[in-house]
A = this chain, B = another copy of it.
Amino acid sequence: MYLTLPDRFTFAQFKQITPIEPSNLVALIVERHDQRITVKRSAVAQENLRKIFESTFRLANKVGFAGMTLRDLCRDTGLSMGGLYGYIGSKDDLSAMIEDVIRFTSEAIPIWFSAQSSALKRLDSTLRGHIFISELLRPWFYFVFMESRTLSASQKTIARSSEMSFQDELSRLFVEAGLTDIPNAQLRAAHCMALIQDWYVKRWKYQQQQVSVDTFADSVCRLALLNLDALQDA
């Protein structure tokens, strides 16, 4: 599935056409984990699931996922301990479902823009796309960034290879855009990842400085694409 957007599209433009957004996610999760979720797909069930994730993000942000107790989660969602276990099979299931959303999303982004005409445009769009989707799903991205180290070895491997496959995609685009020194292209791709992640990890900082997501995306793209125009002309 391709997304059709103008050059240097804004967050507002992106939000109107993105196929992945907060209101979709619960349905996506129910679809991908229906064995584990014993409750029926009623409206109240979807609303309860939404609350469970919302509360998990709030509580894990305060004390970490390991520090968050299921009793805290019950208090925050209004569910009882028994009721909660109708939605999750265990505490670990909860983190696995969240991680799955991010993996699914990160794999979709490069495809959205693979039809763009030039490597430079694909680079710009892919960077903006990742920044904007992480803005929309910020709590989900933040959770995986912070908690993936505490997950099981297999989950950690999946998280890392998911991150590397996106970074490798950026690296390939840099090479296509003229940066033929491959280690250099890889390093620049790693730098791009770091800049993008900072947007959702250190949000308090940008809020304090009143930087908008569009200003941020412009700044990252400018830094990432510096000197590539010159290579393109040569």
Interface of A toward B, CB cutoff 8 Å: 61-67, 146-147, 149-150, 160, 163-164, 167, 183, 186-188, 190-191, 193-195, 197-198, 202, 204-206, 208-209, 211, 215-216, 219-220, 223, 226-227
Contact = CB atoms under 8 A, between A and B. Distances in A.
Determine chain A's interface SS by DSSP, over half rule: helix
Contacts of A163: 205
A23 to B, nearest CB: 27
Contact of A194 (B64, B147, B186, B198): B198
Identify which of A163, A164, A191, A208 gathers the most chain B CB atoms within 10 Å of its CB: A191
This chain: how many copies in the complex? 2
Given A67-B64, A149-B61, A206 B190 contact: yes
Contact of A195 (B64, B150, B194, B209): B194
A135 to B, nearest CB: 16
Contacts of A61: 149
A188 B209 CA distance: 12
Contacts of A202: 190, 193-194
A63 B149 CA distance: 7
Nearest to A215: B187
A216 to B, nearest CB: 8
A149 B150 contact: no
A64 B62 contact: no
Identify which of A65, A150, A188, A211 gathers the most chain B CB atoms within 10 Å of its CB: A150
